Amino acid sequence: MRDDKRFQFPREGKNVCGRLTLPTPFALLNSLVMKTALLFSGQGAQYVGMGQDLYLKSPEARTLYEEADALLQNGFSTVCFEGPEETLTDTSYCQPALYVHGLALFAALKKERPDFSFQACAGLSLGEFTAHTVAGTFSFAEGLKLVAARGRLMQEACRATEGGMLTLIGASREQAEALASQSGLQVANYNCPGQIVLSGAKSLVPNAVEQGKALGLKRCLPLNVAGAYHSRLMQPAQDALAPLILAAPLQTPSVPVFSNVTGQVASDVATVRDTLTRQVTGSVRWEECVEGLISSGCSRLIELGPGRVLAGMVKRINKDVPCLSAGNLEELQALLPQL
């Protein structure tokens, strides 16, 4: 296996190979007038074939996929590019796939725009690990090990329990929390205004749908998922992941990274370890993360991941702040003139 130091993602001010770069006058001027935040995708955005164009046309991205294949030893790239879909959807494959894909997009971006800089980042659920990697909190390999373990442990928890999830469309926070309390479910995701997700025992979901209708909610939609993510049913996964996160070599993030469980910046190593651990069973406060990025002065958000899912949420949270998206090489190249 190659020396892992070569493939560590840089702390701000270095390119993807770790060499110091000097900003052009234009890039320096642009950085003074616009703060940029990077956003990374969570589980559910994946699709078969994702990342193959990057692998074929970007040497920097190919290096990451090759490193992932060598580390995971499970046919990782083949599943990403060729499927089958049910294997890629398995949490143990899906989470590493989205992690590597996000970082492959970032590596290709930095190759094309060495002077590109960002001032903050965030990721939805597992995307928070991707965000920490680009912020230099841990190396590509260390982050991949944690994400692979997280996915495997969560998949085991799914198989050991009968979990389900329910999307509430048009519900306020107060209504969602009232329904969670009445039904015995938990709030899994505060995604954006009008979109909140509940999670818990699958047997409780049908009754929760009826209770939601009684509360006057517009739509209560059961989700076709393998388990109850971000609920107490994931506690065994969280307990097993905790010592791995505690033992992993971490550094203070080079830029602010917003935590899913608090909606605030995780600014030191101890807080990062704590919040990444609690995230497995805790509510994802994505709306608060985006509001925090904007409040901190970020006036441009860039989603690196498939499907424009996060851009859609950002538009619901604050329509006045643009969120650009790139989920493949063609979209990334179309984005470059705007950077």
Say if residues 123 and 147 touch (Cβ distance below 8 Å): no
125 is catalytic: yes
Choosing from 58, 92, 117, 125, the catalytic residue is 125
* Distances in whole angstroms, Cα of residue 228 to Cα of each of 159, 168, 189, 233, 245: 11, 15, 12, 6, 22
* Distances in whole angstroms, Cα of residue 287 to Cα of each of 53, 87, 121: 31, 30, 14
Burial label for 275, CB within 10 Å (0-12, 13-18, 19+), is: buried
* Distances in whole angstroms, Cα of residue 235 to Cα of each of 115, 150, 161, 241, 322: 42, 12, 11, 10, 37
Say if residues 123 and 37 touch (Cβ distance below 8 Å): no
SS3 199: strand
| CA nearest to 298, candidates 262, 249, 267, 265 | 265
CA distance 24 to 328: 26
Write the DSSP symbol of residue 265: B
Strand ranges (DSSP E) for the chain?
35-40, 120-123, 163-169, 186-192, 195-201, 219-223, 298-304, 323-326
| 326 CB-near residues (< 8 Å, 6+ apart) | 105, 109, 302, 303, 304, 332, 334, 335
Choosing from 77, 92, 230, 231, the catalytic residue is 230
CA distance 306 to 310: 9
Tokens of 315: 């538009």
CA distance 313 to 246: 32
Q: Name the residues annotated as catalytic.
A: 125, 230
